[in-house]
Amino acid sequence: MFDLLFDNPAVIVQGITGKHGAFHTLEMLRAGTRVMAGVTPGKAGESIHGVEVYNTVAEAKNECLASISIIFVPAPFARAAMEEAIEAGIELIICITEGIPVHDMLGVLQKAKEAGTLIVGPNCPGLLIPSVIKLGIIPESIGLPGSVAVVSRSGTLTYEAAASLSAKGIGQRYIVGIGGDRLRGTSFVDCLRQFQADQNVSHIVLIGEIGGADEQAAAAYIRSHITKPLFAYIVGHSAPPETQLGHAGAIMGSEYESAAAKTEQLRAAGATVASSLPELVQIVAEAYDPTQATLP
C-alpha cells in the first residue's frame, strides 16, 4: 500500500499558494520530500519556494510524473480537487482539509475505489516515514528511524505518541494519521495489513477514539491476521454518550462505540492495551527489544 513511498516519488501540492499549503510545502522540502509542482487554478507560472505552480493536476503530473498529491484546498473545493487528482491518475492522495461534507466524501471515495487511488484522510495530519519522506503536516523533528509502526485517528496524539517514543530511543518505520472524519479513505485495517506485511516493522501502535466501529474492525483483523506485538490506546474513557470530542468522527452514539467497549475488544483480540498515552509509551518501551528490531 505504501511501498511507493520508499522510491523517492515526485509529489505535487494542491492549494500550494494558500497560507497553509505554502508553509507546509516548505517544511516538506526541508524534510527532503520531492515536491515537484503545485496546483492552484489561475495561478500558473507562479513559484512557491522554488516550486512551479500549474493550473491543473494533469499539467503538473505530466510535467513531473508525480504519483502523490497533498491537498490543502478549502473544504468547499476539496471534493473537486480530489476528483481532479483521481482523474489525472494520481496513485496516493493525502487530504489534510477538514470540514468536508459527508456527501462529498461519498462521491470521492467511490471514484477512488473505481480508479484504484489510495486516499489518506481527510481531516488528517498525513504520513511520515522518518528520514525517508514527509507527506502532510506531521513535524519531521518528532520522528526517529526505526521499526515501530504508529497509526492513529487523533492528529494530536499521532504527534505525541511518536515524539514520546522517539524520546525513549524507540524509532518508527511509519507514522500515519488516518484522520478523524466519519468517512475517510485509509482505515486501521488497511494500515495493519501493510504493517504486518512489512518485514521492517517489529511492533505496532494503534491509537483510536470513541465513535464509529473502526476499532472493532481492527480488533477482528488483529485476531485473525496480526502476529506482531501490538499496543493500543483508545481516547475518551470519561466521555458520556452523545459526546463529541473535537471532530465528527469522535461522537459516541452508544455504549458499543465507547472507549471501554473498544478497549475490551482490542484486549480480547490479543492487543496489549493502555489507559493513557504515557502508559502506552511505557508498555511499548518495556516490550521493545532493539536487538530484535530489523531497521529499514
Residue 131, Cα to own-chain centre: how many angstroms?
17
24 is catalytic: no
Is the predicted pLDDT of residue 249 greater than 50, yes or no? no
pLDDT in tens, 127-176: 999 999 999 999 999 999 999 999 999 999 999 999 999 999 999 999 99
Mapped onto helix, strand or coil, the DSSP state of residue 149 is strand
Number of helices and strands in the chain (H, E): 9, 14
**Cα atoms in the 13 Å half-sphere on the side-chain side of 205:** 35
Is the predicted pLDDT of residue 292 greater than 90, yes or no? no
All structural domains of the chain: 3-120 (3.40.50.720), 143-289 (3.40.50.261)
Is the predicted pLDDT of residue 187 greater than 60, yes or no? yes
Mean pLDDT in residue range 261-290: 94
Q: What is the pLDDT of residue 254?
A: 53
Choosing from 20, 103, 203, 247, which is the catalytic residue? 247
Q: What is the pLDDT of residue 296?
A: 47
* Cα separation values, 17 from 45, 55, 74, 202, Å: 12, 11, 12, 40
